[in-house]
Amino acid sequence: MHLMVRPTRKPLRGELLVPTSKYHVHRALILASLAEGTSRIKGVSDARHVQYTIRLLRDLGTRISVEGDTYVVRGGRYRPRRQTVSAGSSGTTLYLMLGLASLAESPVTVTGQKYFRRRPVGPLLDALRRLGVELESDDGCPPVHLTPGRPTGGRVVIPGTLSQWISGLLLLAPFASGPTVVEVSGELNERPYVELTVAMMRRFGLQVTVSDDWRRFDIAPGQSARPTDLTLPPDLGSAAFGIAAAALHPSDVLLRGITRLDGDPAHHPETGFLDVVRRMGVPMTVDAGAGGVRIRHDGIRLRGTTVDCREVPDMLPVLCTLAGLADGETVFEHVGHVRLKESDRVAAMLQLNAMGADLTLEGDRLRVRGVTAFTGARVSSYNDHRILMSLALAGTKAHGVTTLTYPKAYEISYPGFLADMTGLGLRLSVEPGPAVTPPASLPEQLRHWAEHRPDGVALVDVRDGHDTGTTWRELDQRVDRAAATLLALGVQPGEAVAYQLPNWAEFVEVSLAALRIGAVCCPLMPILRQREMAFALRRSGARVLLVADRFRNRDHLAETASWFAEDPAGRARVRHVAVVAADGGAVALPADGEGLTWSDWGAATAAAPVDTVALAARQPTPDALAQLLFTSGTTGEPKGVLHRHDTLGHAVRLQAERLGLDDRDVVFIPSPLAHQTGFLYGMWLAVTLGVPQLVQAHWNPRTALRAVVEHGATFVQAATPFLADLLKEVEAGGRAPETLRTMVVAGAALPRSLAERATAVLGTTVCGAFGTTETCLGSLSAPDDPPGKVWGTDGRAMPGVGLRVTDDAGRTLPAGREGNFEVRSPTCFVGYLDRPDLTAEAWTDDGWYRTGDLAVIDPDGYVRITGRVKDVINRGGEKVPVAEIEELLHQHPSVDEVAVVGTPDERLGERACAFAALVDGADLDLEAMRKYLDYHQVSKHYWPERLELVDRLPRNPAGKVQKFVLRQRAEALCPAPLEEQKA
């Protein structure tokens, strides 16, 4: 399901009844539960977060009923009805009730929904302990076990990061046996919410003495709350979205229930929002006769302003939407704590850049430069109610349709949002997501798209000088002719067709043609030379080979002809070589030799007669072999990995579902098509979805950025260097790719600093992943995952996939422990061609694939690859945490990329050597590197003892750092003495 937002062109008309303030409801219900007697609270809220507070209080024994528009609360001592009570997904409920639950007559465990159990509350728990609350928590997160008893009081210091932490302490302190002093350290954020807590406590007879700067609170012990009747004010947090909608469009809108435009925090902590939008030029007037605030205009241009987020902490998302369309620049100060909400709301709102906005994050400041209009896009709500509603409003002012995930997240705080906004005239609807193409063979899917969207773009061959497009009808016809050509050459079902081609249109054509006649695709990397080619041809048994006439600086035609002439046995079973011209022209062919013929592929396919009956008779079954890929051979001889049609098809469908890809995407493929990343998660994915694929043979960041922008690419899967180069190109002044929604980075370590920069600069969600040629993707994060998990890990298990970490004895290790990473998946390979011994070694006795990687799986199931088993550096019995050292060094301002490897040492066994490529004009030496690591408190045992500067790290075509090359270099260095490290 998605929230579909279509642009609104007509003026808005109507009125909204502003719901009751949920901030007041939470506090009023909690305080009433503590007061012996009956309290009547007028102003019922249907916000889901409020329902969580009501449920938790009822589970503690408080009787709460609803009479019309009034809560009737019969308070007193907590007598729990359940040993475990839940805060659901409400942070307010959790933070305000954690300490108060200790006042119950019996032990209580406070928990929350599954994902909520990873929310850190360590500082609050430490403060509660200092107040004498007896509690236990395994990891500083819920669940928290509380032993009954009144707190003792005392002096506590709490960070001012979140107001609810302070409020939770203040609500508990009056019931302590001794006096309490609460002091705030660091920046005091969200002061209005603390002011509201104190004001509400005083309404219930609880006294708090507050310093002038609101950083010290003195609370007398032994107080009692008294029952109170009160009427709660309207919710400006919800009204903000009606105000924003009316500001963005010509309007005559009444927000009923708001009777004043000024006030103090006791009236409402978000009164400051009204001040901000008035500065931005929103025309609001109090209509006393109608009982609300009216916004009436025929179209306005808002003004940029400056916003202190400490005063309106929850308003950044909706204000970002307004600022994005305002004249001039709006600056949001002190945004750090806004990143600690239900989602990282700053990062989430940077998605406006994908809609054509201009947002820049500068440390603790967010700058928004107004634009004239937005563009529709697919963006994520991160299951955050305020992000969903704010981006939805942005979509109403966009050209084109905007699609949002988690379409009902608004129910958490503003259940009437959808009905209220559509009632005014906005075009919002919850709709099913577009379906991925049903399971079928890839050639069948190609035929389907040729019939249903014949003139749509299927393929774009991106070159430095020009691009060439192909429609679905044209691609289907070319594949038919290519398949007929292969049939004429005698290719049989299950037989490998070998081809050494770059990312040209012909690669896609040959692959689909081989699959159409039941043959096996055997793509070979263009970088391979005679030795590797001879091995692959011998092992594959291919009788047909396709090569480029030339590519980059190599004359493949001349090389192949010379090699076959000099070493006839080296061509193994090859009997026919077809040559593909780089420019599409004619090819000058060598003379046919003994048992070997040559042809011009372009000419041969153009003249091939197509027998549709013969082609239909060769349609492969789902379990037929489809692909033979050779591994890089860095740990021994290359291994031929065999995959079937159905497993490859299943793998791409899993990815499409995880990422929300559909038939409106455009897939960019800079990764080699002869590697699984480009072949499966580029070409195969694009044909499955029926969307254009952009193939680029020669990596040029400027050409790549131009193609992405011009053709509207939305998705790419590639290794870290591709992302880094694209980012540098934009930072150097290139146009940001506004449509590029998702980038999956797999195959090489993704430095967190690079991912965060890319998210901010490119406006693209960078998702971490893990996969191998043998298993396809085993883990993948999703754009809707918590931001730190999206690019800070290698993702979570794909549906139906098992992940585990074991010790060297094969025992499964608990969460958080590093060990051997193993995968069990329905997308695993059939086996290694002609090597049953290697196939057997790859599997454990109980059916798990040994990846050869080291990993940690956290309690939430997210994987972090920490290195290869063979890359472990054992220095004098201490294992060096290579991945952590590399991540830290990558954050050094002088370092562009870095890798750490081990070198043999007689005394210690191994020592660490760092290879680093520096940014232009930067300098770094061993001593400076050590001072940097020392500053970051890295143990001296882990410091690299040699630093070698290089222009660029060696990588294979998939982007993986070739550490075996670096180890060879390190061992070959002059044996200069290495400085001994002292413990």
Residue 386 is assigned to a ligand binding site: yes
Report the alpha-carbon distance of residue 473 to residue 456 in Å, rounded: 8
Report the alpha-carbon distance of residue 402 to residue 6 in Å, rounded: 6
Boundaries of every domain in the chain: 2-17+234-431, 22-230, 872-972
Taking CA atoms, 601 is separated from 356, 505, 527, 609, 864, in Å, by: 44, 13, 21, 14, 45
Provide the pLDDT for residue 886: 86
Provide the pLDDT for residue 964: 78
pLDDT band at residue 379 using 50, 70 and 90 as cut-offs: confident
Cis bond leading into 859, ω under 30°?
A: no
Report the alpha-carbon distance of residue 523 to residue 506 in Å, rounded: 12
Residue 693 is assigned to a ligand binding site: no
Provide the token pair at 261: 């435009």
Provide the pLDDT for residue 973: 72
Report the alpha-carbon distance of residue 524 to residue 537 in Å, rounded: 10
pLDDT band at residue 338 using 50, 70 and 90 as cut-offs: confident
Share of the chain above pLDDT 70, in %: 94
* Known active-site residue 314: yes
Residue 371: CB atoms within 10 A of its CB come to 15
Provide the pLDDT for residue 505: 97
End-to-end Cα separation, the chain, in angstroms: 57
Share of the chain above pLDDT 90, in %: 62
Mean pLDDT over 178-203 rounds to 91
Residue 216 is assigned to a ligand binding site: no
* Options 139, 229, 235, 314, the catalytic residue: 314
Using CB atoms within 10 Å of the CB of residue 808, give its burial: 0 to 12 exposed, 13 to 18 middle, 19+ buried: exposed
Mean pLDDT over 285-303 rounds to 93
Residue 543 is assigned to a ligand binding site: no
What pLDDT, in 10s, does the model give residues 345-374? 898 899 998 888 999 988 889 999 999 889
Do residues 96 and 121 lie in contact, with contact meaning Cβ atoms separated by under 8 Å?
no
What pLDDT, in 10s, does the model give residues 700-748? 999 999 999 999 999 999 988 888 899 999 999 888 898 999 999 876 5
Report the alpha-carbon distance of residue 118 to residue 133 in Å, rounded: 22
Domain 2-17+234-431 and domain 872-972 have a common topology: no
What pLDDT, in 10s, does the model give residues 669-702? 999 999 999 999 999 999 999 999 999 999 999 9
pTM comes to 0.55
Provide the token pair at 687: 């044909």
Report the alpha-carbon distance of residue 898 to residue 916 in Å, rounded: 4
Mean pLDDT over 220-245 rounds to 94
Question: Between these two residues, 849 and 347, which has the higher pLDDT value?
Answer: 849
| Res 941 pLDDT > 90 | no
Mean pLDDT over 75-103 rounds to 93
What pLDDT, in 10s, does the model give residues 400-452? 889 998 898 898 889 899 999 999 999 999 887 544 444 468 999 999 899 88
Q: In terms of CATH architecture, what is 872-972?
A: 2-Layer Sandwich (3.30)
Provide the pLDDT for residue 481: 97
| Fold exhibited by the domain 22-230 | UDP-n-acetylglucosamine1-carboxyvinyl-transferase; Chain (3.65.10)
Provide the pLDDT for residue 813: 94
pLDDT band at residue 756 using 50, 70 and 90 as cut-offs: confident
| Res 794 pLDDT > 80 | yes
Mean pLDDT over 164-177 rounds to 96
Do residues 719 and 747 lie in contact, with contact meaning Cβ atoms separated by under 8 Å?
yes
pLDDT band at residue 72 using 50, 70 and 90 as cut-offs: very high
Report the alpha-carbon distance of residue 535 to residue 528 in Å, rounded: 10
pLDDT band at residue 636 using 50, 70 and 90 as cut-offs: low
Report the alpha-carbon distance of residue 509 to residue 514 in Å, rounded: 9
Beta-carbon contacts of residue 275 (< 8 Å; ≥ 6 apart):
none
Provide the pLDDT for residue 378: 83
How many residues appear in the chain? 983
pLDDT band at residue 321 using 50, 70 and 90 as cut-offs: very high
Instruction: Give rounded-to-5 percent helix, strand, coil for the chain.
Output: 35, 25, 40
What pLDDT, in 10s, does the model give residues 96-142? 999 999 999 999 999 987 656 667 788 999 999 999 999 999 888 89
For domain 2-17+234-431, the question of CATH label 3.65.10.10 is answered with yes
pLDDT band at residue 265 using 50, 70 and 90 as cut-offs: very low
Residue 960 is assigned to a ligand binding site: no
Provide the pLDDT for residue 465: 80
Residue 617: CB atoms within 10 A of its CB come to 11
Residue 314 is assigned to a ligand binding site: yes
Provide the token pair at 553: 């600086």
Beta-carbon contacts of residue 819 (< 8 Å; ≥ 6 apart):
805, 806, 807, 813, 854, 855
Residue 877 is assigned to a ligand binding site: no
What pLDDT, in 10s, does the model give residues 639-663? 999 999 989 998 998 899 889 888 8
Residue 68 is assigned to a ligand binding site: no
